[in-house]
Amino acid sequence: MDNFNYYAPTKYVFGRDTEAQAGQLTRWMGCRKILLVLGGGSARCSGLLDRVAAALQAEGVEYLLLEGIKPNPTDDRVYEGIDLGRREKIDGLLAVGGGSVIDTAKAIAAGIPYDGDFWDFWAGKAVVEKALPVGVVLTIPAAGSEGSGNSVITRLDGMHKISLRTDSALRPKFAILNPALTFTLPAAQTAAGIADMMAHIMERYFSPTQEVETTDRIAEGLLMAIIEEAPKVMADPENYQARANIMWAGTMAHNGVAGCGRREDWTSHGLEHELSALYGVTHGAGLAVVFPAWMTFMASHRPEKVAQLGRRVFGLTGKDDSAVALQTVDSLRAFFGKLGLPLTLSQLGIENPDIALLTAKFHEDKGTPFGPYFPLQPVDTAAVYRLML
Ligand code: NZQ
Ligand code: ZN
């Protein structure tokens, strides 16, 4: 096990009707005038926006709206939010939505107190030292941004989708997690969220670091819980208990606890971010295609951890690591298939993928070679993309 620091200072407020505490929690994080960041309309339609607004008003918190943040959020809305927030002298942000809304709020929070271009942080030219506080009302368990220090934004100039990782600077101060808010999710978004949270666990699990049994078992336990609960939420979207288990698993998947003491991989996310940037696909649905392809490649290059996952999570019993790794891929694909997730690029709606461009952008954004578990050269990356056909 490697040395590590684990500091995850988000206050999680979990359960029914917890959005009623949005005002008190916003005051608790020290804010009186905030930017309320929203997606394309689900929070307005469900009445959630009205409830949150009432909770803010009851505590005397003023708010301005930044609405219409789209999935795979782009830098133009961040610049707009920074201008608005500076003009109106806001002292914090509240994101009501999923990863796209939260990540936009985080980027605005980092950009407002910074003298230069906020993109400097994403381009690796500066480090976030100061940011406005961000609170969250989560409406989709998926990206895990409610408990992570990360923010993923796409630069429209060149369509570069980049994930900025911070230890704690961009972790939300609080996250309201009410599983009942997820009842209205379309089945495809529920399923994509499940694939994404499993990917967050597996990116950490496929590590070159040895002897991390405790962290391995946390990861395996989370995966087993998700595999158990996922069919229940697909069959009965208003099953509160199953939604609750999935929601908490989604947060635990990405708040760092499943990565303690080891190097993490994140190759599949890098490969998927290029698909989202170029073809606008839903992130979690993209991962359902990418991860099994990457694992198939690993079956013939570095099978041992893939096989361990298959034996411990899917109950496989074979002795040969490469063969078990391939069976693990079959088990994962069968599970994703049952959730109605796409398994190939064409099922994802990408008929003629430009593999040369995807490969070039992946290495431009991530470096060469890339992949702590198994370093990919461009020829390998292209091979993994071809396994998605
Ligand atoms: O925009 P609205 O109308 O709210 O609709 C959204 C959106 O269309 C809808 N939705 C959300 N909650 C709903 C709902 N519809 C009905 N009822 C509800 N309760 O779901 C759609 C997807 O929303 P989005 O925020 O894009 O989903 P998600 O949470 O999956 O976020 C995806 C983004 O997060 C990034 C992804 O790359 C992608 O850009 N990620 C961020 C991470 C982080 N910051 O730590 C890590 C992840 O790996 C990921 O890369
Ligand atoms: Zn993800």
Alpha-carbon distance of 181 to 185, in angstroms, equals 8
3-state DSSP: the chain helix, strand, coil percent, rounded to 5? Answer: 50, 10, 35
Q: Who lines ligand 1 at CB under 6 A?
A: 39-43, 71-73, 97-101, 103, 139-140, 142-145, 148, 150-152, 181-182, 184-185, 189, 193, 196, 254, 269, 283-284
Atom of ligand 1 nearest to the CA of 103: 44
Which of 155, 177, 189, 281 for mutating ligand 1's site (highest number of atoms within 8 Å of CB)? 189
Q: What is the pLDDT of residue 124?
A: 96
Mean pLDDT calculated for residue range 333-337? 98
Mean pLDDT calculated for residue range 313-339? 98
Alpha-carbon distance of 271 to 287, in angstroms, equals 9
With pLDDT > 90 as the criterion, what percentage of the chain qualifies?
99
Which amino acid residue places its CA nearest to atom 14 of ligand 1? 185
Q: What is the pLDDT of residue 51?
A: 98
Which amino acid residue places its CA nearest to atom 16 of ligand 1? 185
- Residue 324 Ramachandran class (φ > 0 left, ψ -120 to 50 alpha, else beta): alpha
Atom of ligand 1 nearest to the CA of 182: 19
Q: Give 119's pLDDT tier (boundaries 50, 70, 90).
A: very high
Mean pLDDT calculated for residue range 61-86? 98
pLDDT in tens, 211-225: 999 999 999 999 999
Atom of ligand 1 nearest to the CA of 148: 45
Q: What is the pLDDT of residue 236?
A: 98
Mean pLDDT calculated for residue range 293-321? 98
Backbone angles phi, psi at 266, to 5 degrees: 70, 20
Ligand nearest to the CA of 283: 1
pLDDT in tens, 340-386: 999 999 999 999 999 999 999 999 999 999 999 999 999 999 999 99
Quote the pTM value: 0.97
